[in-house]
Chain A
Amino acid sequence: MLLREVEYARPATVEEAITLLSEHDGARALAGGQTLVNVMKARAASPDVLVDLADLTELRTISFSADQSALEIGAMVTNTMVISSSEVEVARPILAEVAATIADVQIRNRGTVGGNVCVNDPTNHYPPLLAALGATFTIRSTSGERTASAEEFFVGVYVTAVSEGELLTKISVPTRKPGTGDAMAGITLGAHGTYVASAVATVSSEGVRVALGCVSSVPVRAMVMEERLAGGDLSEAAVRAAAEGLAASLDPPSDVHANAEYRGHLAEVSAVRAVLQAAERAKG
């Protein structure tokens, strides 16, 4: 409620948007606004210029890369679009499954994938999901286009590899190969609520990838656990053994819902559950 004064522009093309973002100090891209507008209501941050990406229809598409190896999700694709996308259903259904648990219908209708990852709130759903899936992020600026891996992309809370004057345009997620299973597990504050701890696992012939949310300013890969599971034994006992010590290796933040010890514990439990479910799904 009651925002500070701000200027507003709604460019028609990506080029125009990038120009606006680079020309104005204190300009921010406005995607779905489901975080940014709320932060502005709290006056915790006050951009000088909002560059509304709503008319950039080219960022609202879900398609396949030329070689069909990746699903390309435009930064302005809403969660609702992800949920109902036949491309997602075929190529990486976990994306739709997770999108359907983000907040509520109204927020899913407006909130975008690009906005969610650029905010990189540690409790958000997409950062650990995309880190586990090995997504790449395409960033455009006046000087051209570059890509970043998830490791490079997520820098800190509210900070990503997208720097001033740049725009995230799309996120590429490898399509699921046969024998791959993905799962997200975690503890939320009430149904579909904010994550207190989360973990995403993907199990495939190439091994296991596990990314944790809520435990740091960026998604954290559970590398030791991944290595221990490289042998392919994904029995419950093996997965639990592999996760041992995971909590102790983390330095999670404390807040009103979980102190560091409990959050670390929840992260470990979530990792086990995500891997077990992913393994189950990998069997088909």
Chain B
Amino acid sequence: MTAIETEAGTLQKGSAVGQSVPRKEDGRLVQGQGVFFDDVKRKDMGYLHFVRSPYAHATIESIDVSAALEMPGVYGTLTGDEVAILTDPFFQIAAPPGGHVKDYALAVGKVRYLGEPVVAVVAETRELARTAAEYVMVEYEPLDVLVDARAALADGAPVLHEECGGNLSYSGVWEWGDVDAAFAEADHVVSIGELHFDRFNSTPLECGGALVEYNRGTGQWTMYTNNQFPGFAAIMMGPAMRVGLDKLRIVTQDIGGGFGNKITSHPQLVVCCLLARKLKRAIQWTEWRTEFHQSMSHGNERWFENTEVAVKADGTLLGFRTKAIDDAGAYLRYEPLGGVIWSQVAAGMYKWRNIWLEFTQAMTNKAPVSPNRGYSRMQQLWFTERVIDIVAQTLDFDAVEIRRLNFVQPEDMAYETPNGCVYDSGDYPRAMDMALELIGASDIETRRAEAASRGKLLGLGIGSTLDSGTNNFGQSQLINPELQFSGNNEVATVKLDIFGEVVVTLGTTPQGQGHETTAAQVVADILHCDVDVVNVRVGHDSYWNSHAGFSGTYASQFAVTGLSAVKGAADMLAGQMVKLASMVFQCPEEAIELADGFARIKDNHEAALPFMALGAIPNANNAGFPDDPPTMNCRYVYRPPFDVPDKERKFGNLTLTYATQIHACVVEIDPETGVTEVVDYAAVDDCGVRINPQIVEGQVMGATAHAIGAALWESFVYDEDGNLLTPNFYDYHVPHALDMPPLKTGAFESPSPFTPLGTKGMGEGGGGGIHCICSGIQDALRAAGGAIVTDSHNPYHRVWEMLSHPERSRETIEVTSR
């Protein structure tokens, strides 16, 4: 099923790139020899346990730690009052009003969500720390609770952050094209009352944590942790702790999954740092599952209110208006960046040119949101996909054909969207056809009839999404013009050591994406050596000199930023190796080639220097050369080509690459119970040049499993008092082996013309499976009342409600036709 295109003249496929090389990481991991943060131990370390708020919203009347401190084996505590003295509030990305939020590492004066850390207790054992935490007496005075972002902006709503004067964190109107004209031109206007994208996250199997040491001599902290964006953590922590960034050394080796959820652990890391200094011992903090669910990095919940869609008689989509209301939770840890990130894919995969979107973000008494796989884009992509399917059903268009008609076409590439983003390459119709063929769409009516004979409703779903990768951080200025961020960067160093070892150091923090392997593949092809002889350093260390401001692993960018840096550094090293060989052989550089692990004279293979010789000369045997031999230690910073976006028009290229994923599924619904089963699934990916197709496919399959979970089972549900009702894997059901449908994958390559390797960022998957399953459910329900799917999360009870009362959702849709 896999077809490879190579029309663009990018990197020539070598012996390693493009191959499914088994991963270098696996050897240690299958033997249980990975080093995750919780595996790091220090003598006499103290175990930290957080006292967490049992209330969603309350003032802290008093805190008494004396009983805990009296317990033998308890080393000490830290309270919000101490934090407020020792640190400044974290820097806020938001402009006012959100910019007024005072966010500290522990609750100060008030708690704003259930599970918020209030006091930290450190003791000799993990168990004792937890027991001592129970002896910390905190008096609370409960306040009214706000769990609905829509209600947060109403007069009289309880206010979380008084200094903000309300619960609004960010609001802005985004308008491109001539929206009024589009609606005037439309033959049909479809109005959709309300769409809701649910709150969940990717629940990486390893929760947060760290081992933190403080050296009183140097004033330096070392954090062995699993933060996945150390550059961001450092710029949040340094100013708050009033220290320079060089005092904050962040080290990771293996990380047990991240998916964006491990970007915003900086508050907890600050607590660990303060306690390591205060108690003069290493601090070990492990977050447990219930704590993670209650407090760490939920995905952005979003409503789309009063949507209007302008449609021509032939199904051409002209534009839309909608009001997005985003729920940031209790603090703005990475927000309100979600307020702009969505606009990378404002138009989805479609050609509509006229868009009006009011984006409002509110704070509520729920866990703070943070990036989650597909961050802020999947909400927008889900919205566009829902709109397509709702328009199709309401106006009786075929769901496939209306997509085909409105897709940005391959001949339109590179395509500039109404807001100035550039879709670099791709063939959406081809990807859709491939997905439909994999799923067997041509036989769908036969299958539908067969399912009906078993009493089941069967539906075909399509979810088409973009995976926008490599951020232009200049987009942050569109929500806060005062911010001084733009562009992007990543670093790699490649060196040749004394005995000829090729050593690669990355700036990224992989959590399973196989960076060691793909980096080695790129280097091996450039140096013409075996993948096995390329050593890629494991993990991340901010003390290595391969670290730039945006270093990290997030936002689908390694294949572009990380590998372009690797390519840059490897190209430099190859040049140096050739140069050194030419110096040794006293011949022109052009006469030298790298091949089979040697630098040799092209037409005299006997004259060959092994890597060992090339490494030894500059490092250990460098006297007597007329010119300085090259250092064989090459550092390259890759900076993608970006301009600062136009703040007035909210216009500009926000990401460098756009990978395509089209998903198709077949769902079966039991009309008696609403139980929904995905019985067949296909996902097609086009992410440009694939360095390692097996790793790409692995990412696609993983993203699919996340999407299936989010569509059917996974949801952070709060009651009206702000209690999280799904705080563990009992009630937050993630897909297990038996829950996975048969899964077919397909791929082709539309190389990016904008990246050095023709690669595109991928991995997040844009929530394609969520859109796809919503689409499939709506299709299945057509035969049973024709309910409209208005929520991204459709557990059995919601499907049953749609079956029982199809008119309820249908009534929220109106059509005005000329």
Q: Which residues of A contact B129 (CB under 8 A)?
A: 2
Beta-carbon contacts under 8 Å, A16-60 to B:
42-43
B733 touches A190 (CB 8 A): yes
Interface residues of B in 654-681 (CB under 8 A from A): 672-673, 675
Contact residues in B for A194 (Cβ distance below 8 Å)? 730, 733
A237 within 8 A of B: no
Tell me the total A-B contact number using a CB cutoff of 8 A.
Answer: 61
Which B residues touch A42, using CB under 8 A? 290
Closest to B126 in A: A2
Question: Is there an interface contact between A257 and B130, defined as CB atoms closer than 8 Å?
Answer: no
User: Does A282 reach chain B (CB closer than 8 Å)?
Assistant: no
- Interface size class on chain A is 20 to 34
Residues of B contacting A262 with CB < 8 Å? 797, 800-801
In the assembled complex, how far is the CB of residue B557 from the closest CB belonging to chain A, in whole angstroms?
33
Q: List which A167-221 residues lie within 8 A (CB) of chain B.
A: 187, 189-194, 196
Q: Is the CB of B290 within 8 A of A187?
A: no
Interface 0/1 of A232-268, CB less than 8 Å to B: 0000000000000000000000011111001001100
Interface positions of B from 759 to 807, Cβ below 8 Å from A: 795-797, 800-801
In the assembly, what is the distance between CA of A191 and CA of B740, in Å?
A: 10
Residues of B within 8 Å of A, CB-based: how many?
Answer: 29
Chain B residues with Cβ below 8 Å from A265 are: 673, 800
Which B-chain residue is minimally distant from A42 (CB atoms)? B290
Say whether A191 contacts B739, CB under 8 Å: yes
Is B82 among interface residues, defined by CB-CB distance under 8 A? Answer: no
> A43, A191, A196: which contacts B736 (Cβ < 8 A)?
A191
**Within the complex, what minimum Cβ distance (angstroms) separates A40 from chain B?**
11
Task: From known contacts A196-B796, A266-B673, infer whether A190 and B713 are also in contact, taking CB-CB under 8 Å.
Answer: yes
> Would you call B625 an interface residue if the criterion is a C-beta within 8 Å of the partner chain's C-beta atoms?
no
Within the complex, what minimum Cβ distance (angstroms) separates A252 from chain B? 13
CA A154 to CA B682, docked complex, whole Å: 47
Cβ proximity bits B115-150 to A, threshold 8 Å, 1 near / 0 not: 000000000001101110010000000000000000
Q: Judge if A9 is at the interface, Cβ distance under 8 Å.
A: no
Task: Tell which of A1, A187, A255, A257 touches B673, judged by Cβ atoms closer than 8 Å.
Answer: A187
State how many angstroms separate the Cβ of B738 from the closest Cβ of chain A.
Answer: 4
A269 lies within 8 A of chain B by Cβ: yes
Say yes or no for A4: interface residue by CB 8 A criterion: yes
- With both beta carbons as reference points, the residue of chain A lying nearest to B719 in the complex is identified as A256
Residue among B49, B126, B796 with the highest chain A CB neighbour number at 10 A: B796
Determine the chain B residues whose CB is within 8 A of the CB of A4 once the complex forms.
Answer: 127, 131
Taking the closest CB of chain A, its distance from the CB of B502, in whole angstroms, is 42
Given A5, A192, A255, which contacts B738 in the complex, CB threshold below 8 Å? Answer: A192
**B796–A187 contact, CB under 8 A?**
yes
Q: Which of chain B's residues 1-57 have a Cβ closer than 8 Å to chain A?
A: 49
| Given the contacts A3-B127, A259-B797, A190 and B726 also touching, CB distance less than 8 Å | no
Q: Which residues of A contact B131 (CB under 8 A)?
A: 4-5
Closest residue of A by beta carbon distance from B800: A262
B739 contacts A257, CB within 8 Å? no
Task: Find chain A residues with CB under 8 A from B717 CB.
Answer: 256
Return the chain A residue nearest B127 by Cβ: A2
Instruction: Find out whether the CB atom of B672 lies under 8 angstroms from the CB atom of A269.
Output: yes
Sample 11 A-B pairs with CB under 8 A, ordered by A number: A1-B126, A2-B126, A2-B129, A2-B130, A5-B131, A187-B673, A190-B713, A191-B738, A257-B797, A265-B673, A269-B673
Q: Which residues of B contact A (CB under 8 A)?
A: 49, 126-127, 129-131, 134, 288, 290, 672-673, 675, 713, 715, 717, 725-726, 730-731, 733, 735-736, 738-739, 795-797, 800-801
Give the 10 A-B residue pairs with the shortest CB-CB distance, closest first: A191-B738, A256-B725, A2-B130, A189-B733, A190-B739, A2-B127, A256-B717, A262-B797, A190-B733, A269-B672
Inter-chain pairs besides A1-B126, A193-B733, A256-B725, 7 sampled, C-beta below 8 Å: A187-B675, A191-B736, A191-B739, A256-B726, A258-B797, A262-B800, A265-B800
